[in-house]
Amino acid sequence: MKEISVAEFFEKNKHILGYSNPAKSLVTCVKEAVDNSLDACEEAGILPDVFVRIVRVDKSVYRIIVEDNGPGIDKIYIPNVFGKLLYGSRFHSIKQTRGQQGLGISSAVLYAQLTTGKPATVVSKTPKQKAWKMKIAINTKKNEPEILSEEEIVWHRPHGTRIELEIVGSYVRERKQSVYEYIRQTSIVNPHARITFVEPDGKVHEFERVSNEMPKIPKEIKPHPHGIELGTLIAMLKSTKASNLKRFLKEEFVRVGDKTADEILKRSGFSGRENPRSLNRDQAERILKAFGEVQLLPPPTDCLSPIGSDLIVKSLMKEFKPEFVYAVTRRPKVYSGHPFLVEVGIAYGGNIKSDRVEVMRFANKIPLLYQQGGCALTKAVASVNWKSYGLQQSKNELPNAPVVVLVHLASTNIPYVSESKEAVASIPEIVEEVRLALQEVGRRLKDYLDRKQKLQRKRKKEDALAKLISLLAEKVCEVLEREPLNAEIVVARIMGKVYFERSFENGRVLLRVVNYSKARRRFRIYEMCDGSVNGDGEVVNSSPYSTIFWDLELRPDEEVIIEYECGRVINPKPVVEGLEEDIVSGAEVRRSSP
């Protein structure tokens, strides 16, 4: 019998951590480095600016460079962070984080060492220290870092960290499990981050942030009694510094006050004055049983950091430019004492051309690119009856429609099916929350599709009516020897629309607006012009173009004429915001996010 270190174990079982083939290994290395960068920036309150570059060194050898503007790492901690597995600050921390086990970036360093024999090159600088450059390898026998070289250097960043790894890998671009796809999806669920990605062929992708607001920093909480197992409770009893059992219950657990502690002690048959470190297994089991019998408030949810429905909508709009988008953030729930919440976004149409629904899965803001079929989040999407929401679907299959569904699970303990963190296990409470969120966005999509179909039917009628009225008007005007009528305004009056008409007179632009509907209408009109604009509206100059807009409120049958001067009108029709498309005639409607 011989003891092996954790590094030796993963050296022989690297597939457990996601290094099962060259293409996947490349994605995993980038993922671990980027996740580290985002976590470091957020914890320091810094808007992340992450640079990722992949350089092809040889036929199957790639150099990965990931650089960030985070707080940097103190020199004495650099070797252990990058050169020791299971070294981290989050394993015992109960709050939402991307990584917990301390396996991430050090496993990438180990993979590089195994496949190319080359160490990791790390540069890091804190605001109070100079930059240090180190070459680090892992002693797999001892699971300890080996510093092969170190030097103080001048670095262009005021603070941050850079890591370079050379690995055996395979770079693929046109597939869902690729580095590009990982970074694209990461930018969607981290709307506060800017990520620059340079591909091996030199092509640069800029994923700009859509928000300058930092996400809420989750707070660490203590364990909840309903999520504790017997072995964990015994270990807590042995290591506590509490002077008696009642203080142990109050100080080591969340949601346990004087009254609750007294009830737990009563049900378990203790006075509360006992020394917790002296309790045996049977006594600990009595306490655990009492935990299950006592009603407790759920754990606090400030340990979670959701993306937020508004930012999900903004990210989906930026990435896909859909015709419809909606998102929901559910209220936090609990499974086995672990707080969690579910967020779902849905985007339909527009630039989404695929006929099959694309499911984007995320856990604590990390994209899950692999094992889609074995993930509870995918199964939850397939289990919803999408036919009732207007989409085509075979039983228990993903629907067929130009739709993107985003599912984000945030929790203090993501129940992954393996250490490679590629799929979520089927926890009933989580699956049910995902289904409820999907049904909520599905109802909104159904409302939109119903309105769209209604509008299409209405337009067909309007088109037929317009043709008929146009023919009638032409014949009537012929008979009466009058000027031809504008059929569009007649249709607008009959159908109860807000009518817009643009004309030009003596170098001025005239906008005629008539409210033929039966309700008071408030809206904004935009005109985009080449060069300067002169008018009584508000002007926004952005050379070489200018935009002028007016806020109007019209009663039924009220008419207004707006005049302004400009070099050339760019937009074919006036652009209106604040009105439904089905009541507008003669103008383009600017879509606003639901």
Per-residue model confidence (pLDDT) at position 92: 45
The answer on 243 and 203 residing in a single domain is no
The answer on 401 and 357 residing in a single domain is yes
Rounded Cα distance between 51 and 183, Å, is 11
Rounded Cα distance between 318 and 311, Å, is 10
Q: Please, are residues 42 and 214 in contact by the beta-carbon 8 Å criterion?
A: yes
DSSP state of 154: -
The answer on 414 and 517 residing in a single domain is no
The answer on 81 and 44 residing in a single domain is yes
Rounded Cα distance between 242 and 407, Å, is 42
3-state secondary structure of 199: coil
The answer on 149 and 240 residing in a single domain is no
Rounded Cα distance between 91 and 95, Å, is 10
3-state secondary structure of 231: helix
Which CATH number belongs to the domain containing residue 30 in this structure? Answer: 3.30.565.10
Residues 6+ apart with CB under 8 A from 378: 359, 361, 372, 398
What's the whole-model pTM score? Answer: 0.76
Q: Kindly state whether residue 216 falls inside one of the protein's structural domains.
A: no
Per-residue model confidence (pLDDT) at position 101: 45
Residue carrying the six token digits 């993501």: 414
pLDDT lower than 50: segments of the chain: 88-92, 100-102, 593-594
Q: How many domains does the chain have?
A: 4
User: Residue 375 is which amino acid?
Assistant: C
Rounded Cα distance between 48 and 51, Å, is 10
Planar angle of CA 423, 427, 430, nearest 5 degrees: 90
Question: CB-hemisphere CA count at 13 Å for 367?
Answer: 25
Bridge partner residues of 507 (DSSP): none
The answer on 178 and 43 residing in a single domain is yes
Per-residue model confidence (pLDDT) at position 102: 43
Rounded Cα distance between 13 and 400, Å, is 39
Token duo for residue 238 = 């042995």
Rounded Cα distance between 82 and 163, Å, is 9
pLDDT in tens, 556-594: 999 999 999 888 888 899 999 999 888 899 999 986 544
Q: Kindly state whether residue 477 falls inside one of the protein's structural domains.
A: no
Q: Kindly state whether residue 462 falls inside one of the protein's structural domains.
A: no
Per-residue model confidence (pLDDT) at position 374: 87
The answer on 274 and 151 residing in a single domain is no
The answer on 387 and 518 residing in a single domain is no
Element (H, E) at 501: strand 498-505
Q: Kindly state whether residue 96 falls inside one of the protein's structural domains.
A: yes
Which CATH number belongs to the domain containing residue 548 in this structure? Answer: 2.60.40.2960
Classify the C-alpha dihedral 239-242-248-252 as positive or negative: negative
Per-residue model confidence (pLDDT) at position 91: 42
The answer on 323 and 278 residing in a single domain is no
Q: Please, are residues 63 and 54 in contact by the beta-carbon 8 Å criterion?
A: yes
Q: Three-class SS string for 356-379?
A: CCEEEEEECCEEECCCCCCCHHHH
The answer on 58 and 16 residing in a single domain is yes
Q: Please, are residues 496 and 583 in contact by the beta-carbon 8 Å criterion?
A: yes
Per-residue model confidence (pLDDT) at position 93: 56
Range(s) of the domain holding residue 76: 6-207
